[in-house]
Amino acid sequence: PSGVLGRRLNLTVGELMLKDDDVPSVGLETPLKDALTEIVDKHVGCTAVLDDDARLAGIITDGDLKRILIKNPDALALPVSGLMTKSPLTIGAGVLAIEALDQMEMNPKGPVTHFFVVDEDGKLEGLLHIHDILRAGLK
């Protein structure tokens, strides 16, 4: 089926996710100022923080930036490793997009707008934003 029902039954996270250079990411020792630039340039509202093996180590969101800078206006020079949120929410590329949307809406800590997509080793493969799901007509 190629209609909405077919898309709901078949469309995966991997088919909708941002990939490669479209995914905002920085290294552990990247200064917060450069992470801010990555967030602004990629227009997603967050950046992945990766270790030396390209595994997802954390996340910095635009909301995190605001909270960090209110507490410490000089934080822009600090490395993100000490400022990031560890263990961000993740999902696999093979998960159905409609299931990802349900997980976003029903997250116990409140709705989320994006998931990092990682492989079984925790390496970053992409980013799924709720807008990608909505643009696909799944809701």
In the sheet that 124-129 helps form, which strands lie side by side, from edge to edge? 90-91, 114-118, 124-129
Q: Which pLDDT tens digit goes with each residue over 41-74?
A: 999 999 999 999 999 999 999 999 999 999 998 9
Q: Which residues contact 67 (CB under 8 A, 6 or more apart)?
A: none
Report which secondary-structure segment, H or E, holds 126.
strand 124-129
Report the length, in residues, of the chain: 139
- Please give the model's pTM, rounded to 2 decimal places: 0.89
Measured at the CA of 31, the angle between CA 29 and CA 34, to 5 degrees, comes to 120
